[in-house]
Amino acid sequence: MKKTIRIQRQPLFNLLTAIFIALIAPQLAAQNWPGAPGGGAPGAGKGGPSQMNIGRFYGKIVDENKKGVGYATVELYGMAFDTITKTMKERLIAGQITEENGDFNLEKLPIVGEFNLKISFIGFAEVTQKVSFGIKPPTGGAPGGAPGGAPGGAPGGGMPGGGFPMGGAGFDKDLGNIKLSAEATTLSEVTVTAQSAQTTLALDKKVYRVDKDASTAGGNAQDALRNVPSLSVDLDGNVSLRNGAPQIFVDGRPTTLSLDQISADAIESVEVITNPSAKFDAGGGTAGIINIVLKKEKRLGYNGNVRAGTDTRTGYNAGGDVNARAEKTNLFISGNFNRMKGYSEGETYRDNFASLSTPRVFSTQIVDNTMEGYFINGRTGFDWFMDNRNTLTLSGSLTRGHFEPFDELTVRADTFAADNNAIVNYSSYVRNSTQDRNFRNLGASAQFKHLFPKEGAEWTADVNYNRTKFFGESNFETLYEGGVTSIERQDGDGRGSFITAQTDFVNPLNKQMKLEGGLRASLRDNTNEQSNFYTDRNTGEEVQVTSLADKFKFNDDVFAAYAQFNHQFPTWGYQVGLRAESSIYNGALLDRDSSFTIAYPLSLFPSVFLTKKLNDEDNLQFAYTRRINRPNFFQTMPFTDFSDSLNLRRGNPELIPEFMNSLELTYQNIFAKGHNLLVSVYYKRASNLISSFLKTEYNDDLNREVVVTTYANSNSSQAYGAEATMKNSLFNMLDLTTNINVYQSNVDATNVEAGLKIEQLSWFVKEILQLKLPKGFTIQLSGEYRSRASFTPDSGNRMPWMPGPTNTAQGYTLDNWFVDASIRKEVLNKKGTITLNVNDIFKTRRSGAYTESNFFIQEQYRYRDAQIFRLNFSYRFGKMDASLFKRKNMRMNMQGNDMMG
């Protein structure tokens, strides 16, 4: 019976098939066949009907846990004839951003030939797969196609040369679930895999996704870096990495901005590179590089984000960013405004030892601080895709801010008898200080990238310019016992510029070997003026204290060249590099005959990396690098800062750079189901270590002996330890990132103070927990504990009026711990998010130090901005529009040749 039914239906089926072929054959003959040798160019076949774009691909993008991935980019490419080069080239046919559940749907597609489907999303490895409707292109056409067609084009009619199925084709094709796997991170072409989530671990760097961190919403870069594994940020924004000062980059280049001037909402990710290769700057920090990557989309069509928030200190913030990409250009613009108000409090206790000429004095200082102000920044630019191999990017930024700190200091000094501990005298005073501080920053950059026909070969060049200015004044009113009042004023004005020019070249010699090289110039200049005044009690007139006036200028120029060679084998590889830098530093006090020069005509910085892939899960890397830490502006500025009466501060313009040699062995194990372990053991040794220390001196203007915090080059230091970072994904809803660092640090500062040596064992623990709950809720907890540590360095990434590090080479920092929390809710079809976060839940975050010298013992600590609740809302918008990529040629579009887009 079944056989009889099939025989009866077959003639009808063949008839319908023949009619269908007859109807679409002219269109198929006129089509530009993807990848077919001899296929006609668009428009081949004079008078031939246009192609019927009736195909449809659909499916779903999922992650390793089979959950839909929203906002992934799906692009379909095919081969098309380029009338300019007379060759077949891959062109974009269609594209889309996936729905919230991962679904995609590409319609009105050509149905003949084979295509490449590409799926990409940040944090996942890009997926490319071949897709087709099962219709092969013709094997060739009649020679002598119609005018405008390529040689060999079909004459506008007739059957295709092969491959069309007699039974018809399914032009609605379900591609099923397409899985995105964990992102592949390549180091020296030895590929290792990392979990695609908030934290990505690789042998050469750690990447932390700030846009996935709910606790940083409405904050600044200091808040963002506090949650990054391996990093510690103190109350004043000083960043330390393995107890060293890293160099801060923004988008791969040094920056003149301080961390509190960068909005956390504008940051996409933070990269931590503990041992940079010869390709990177050798200077700027002996602990490695922290690269802050700002948001900049390149997805098809347009997309953006708007946000606003407030906090319990009456602060508020607002911002947004928009990105639009067309065929030849990609435009991006962003802006942020942040109004803030903060409080801090601190205490300082100092015991000055008795001597033959002075009695023992015990001093207590209590300070309460209020800070109000704002900062606003904007950034814009565009990419110009000149052709397939050349891209030009121009961008600019503008930042400005205004702050008004107010301090109330209460100081009491008790003088003891020489023969016993009885107090024989005491004095006290209260000082109020009001400050007005302003800063401006203007930045511009131009970048060019050229891709060579050889795969992987490229040349890049860029120029970056930053101009900064800060100015303000401080007014001090001191009330002594007995009703005596003194009034002082301090003015400060500074400006500078920072220019970098760089070019890099990558040349793959073959699939196993690669040669890289580049040149770089860095030109920095700064001019600063500071004046001090007091009000004469008798006349009421203001008098300048000329002995405290300073006008300081410096130029810091660095020129560099590097080359590195990479060679890979099936399971191991090596990379060797050499960087040469020439630096010259000129400083001068403009109001007096005083100048100096620090020149290093040539310094060499080698780097060696060895990688070994033990198996698919285990990887090893050995790294050796040499780096330099040149004195920063704050360390060389020879002005005395009187804002803290017990701790005057002054830079040392005669500092010389310190050199650091680093060794590191790293092991990575990639477990199943999103677990990842990274373990490093390291050793660092520095010569001429730049360290802060306290000294006593007699001040003629104050008519008393004072303690001044300044800087000097210590003989040497060494540090060795082990660090482990563990990434765990549990139950498809819980992500844990654990970072533990244990290290021993030794500092030899006997040249600064006789017998001054420091040996300190320290440890550091950071835990980040992120829990995903039903109905779009996410909870995040992050905590950190830092034990007593010796000599935490000054990262220099702060404004001149901000406090420096509280500890010195003569002591250690006090232990410190804190916990932050946040909860996030997705709303409006997951396009909006509401975030509530609180920092320092238990009010335990503090900055403190213990200092001991031959003359005194001092202990100090400060608390700042504890238990602030912030509420923020953000909304994402966008539209995928593949037509933005297509040439605005209506004749071509009407003919259906969209593959020329």
User: Any idea which of 64-73, 82-91, 476-485 has the lowest mean pLDDT?
Assistant: 82-91
pLDDT surpassing 70 at residue 624: yes
Least confident of 253-257, 511-515, 570-574, 732-736: 253-257
Q: Is the pLDDT of residue 92 over 70?
A: yes
Q: Which of 147-161, 769-783, 835-849 has the lowest mean pLDDT?
A: 147-161
> Which pLDDT value is given to residue 292?
87
Q: In the prediction, which pLDDT does 458 show? A: 93
Average pLDDT, integer, range 131-144: 63
d(CA 320, CA 336): 7
Residue 14 token pair: 């063949």
pLDDT digits (tens, 9 = 90+) for 843-880: 999 888 898 888 889 898 899 889 999 999 999 887 75
Task: Find the mean pLDDT for residues 390-419.
Answer: 92
In sign, the C-alpha dihedral spanning 884, 890, 896, 901 is: negative
Provide φ and ψ at 842, rounded to 5°: -100, 10
**Is the Cβ–Cβ distance between 368 and 407 less than 8 Å?**
yes
Q: Give 741's pLDDT tier (boundaries 50, 70, 90).
A: very high
State the Cα–Cα distance between residues 604 and 581, nearest whole angstrom: 7
CA distance 216 to 219: 5
**Residue pair 182/675 in contact by the 8 Å Cβ criterion:** no
pLDDT band per the 50, 70, 90 thresholds, residue 329: confident
Distance CA 300, CA 306 (A): 19
pLDDT reading at 30 higher than 60 = no
Q: Which residues contact 592 (CB under 8 A, 6 or more apart)?
A: none
pTM (two decimals): 0.72
Q: Evaluate whether 718 touches 831 at the Cβ level (below 8 Å).
A: no
Average the pLDDT over 234-263 and give the result. Answer: 77
Predicted pLDDT at 188:
36
pLDDT attached to residue 54 = 81
Distance CA 334, CA 322 (A): 6
Given the structure tokens 């895709």, which residue do they identify? 385
pLDDT for residue 213 is more than 50: yes
Judged by average pLDDT, the poorest of 109-118, 119-128, 371-380, 618-627 is 119-128
Instruction: Locate 580 and state its tokens.
Output: 């040469």
pLDDT of residue 500: 94
Q: What is the pLDDT of residue 536?
A: 92
Q: Is the pLDDT of residue 513 over 80?
A: yes
DSSP code, position 899? G
Find the range with the poorest average confidence among 122-131, 257-266, 866-875. Answer: 257-266
Give DSSP secondary structure letters for 137-155: PPS---SSPSTTSPTT---
pLDDT > 80? residue 703: no
CA proximity to 150, closest of 217, 92, 82, 205: 82
Task: Please tell me the least confidently modeled range out of 167-171, 186-190, 776-780.
Answer: 186-190
Neighbour tally for 9: CB within 10 Å: 10
In the predicted structure, residue 650 carries a pLDDT above the cut 60 = yes
Tokens of 557: 């120029």
- Backbone dihedral angles phi then psi of residue 474, each to the nearest 5 degrees: -130, 135
Is the model more confident about 433 or about 67?
A: 433
Task: Tell whether the model's pLDDT for residue 796 goes beyond 70.
Answer: no
- Mean pLDDT over 262-270 rounds to 81
Residues in the chain: 901
Provide the pLDDT confidence category of residue 662 given band limits of 50, 70 and 90.
very high
Q: Does position 468 have pLDDT exceeding 90, yes or no? A: yes
Q: Look up residue 262 and give its DSSP letter.
A: S
Q: What is the mean pLDDT of residues 184-197?
A: 37
More confident residue, 141 or 723: 723
Confidence of residue 120 (pLDDT cuts 50, 70, 90): confident
DSSP 8-state code for residue 700 = T
List C-alpha distances in Å: 387 to 391, 450, 451.
7, 10, 10
Residues 6+ apart with CB under 8 A from 875: 305, 306, 307, 828, 831, 832
The least confident of 326-335, 668-677, 825-834 is 668-677
Distance (Å, whole) CA 5 – CA 145: 46
Residue 516, CA distances (Å) to 280, 505, 562, 572, 764 in order: 12, 6, 8, 19, 37
pLDDT-derived band at 22, boundaries 50, 70, 90: very low
* Range from 8-17, 426-435, 790-799 that averages highest in pLDDT: 426-435
Alpha-carbon dihedral 146, 149, 151, 156, rounded to 10 degrees:
-50
Apex 763 CA angle, 762 and 765, nearest 5 = 160
Q: Which amino acid is at 139?
A: T
Q: Two tokens at 189? A: 């072409």
Residue range 190-203: average pLDDT? 47
The pLDDT confidence band at residue 785, using thresholds 50, 70 and 90, is very high
Strand (E) or helix (H) holding 5: helix 2-30
Across the range 603-620, mean pLDDT stands at 90
Is residue 581 pLDDT above 60, yes or no? Answer: yes
Query: Where is pLDDT greater, at 52 or 191?
Result: 52
pLDDT tens-place string over residues 421-442: 788 888 899 999 999 999 999 9
Residues in CB range of 12: below 8 A, 6 or more apart? none
Cβ-based neighbours of 137, under 8 Å, separated by 6 or more: 33, 34, 35, 36, 39, 112, 113, 160, 161, 163
User: What's the whole-number average pLDDT of the chain?
Assistant: 79
**Per-residue confidence band for 42, with pLDDT thresholds at 50, 70 and 90:** very low
Three-class secondary structure of residue 94 per DSSP = strand
Question: b/e map of 504-520 (b: 16 or more CB within 10 Å)?
Answer: bbbebeeeeebebbbeb
Residue 157 has pLDDT above 50, yes or no: no
As a whole-number percent, the residues of the chain with pLDDT over 90 amount to 35
Quote the CA–CA distance of 841 and 821 in Å, as a whole number.
7
What does the pLDDT average to over 482-502?
A: 91
Q: Tens digit of pLDDT for each residue in 352-386?
A: 887 767 788 899 999 999 999 998 999 999 999 88
End-to-end CA distance of the chain: 53
Res. 747: pLDDT tops 80:
yes
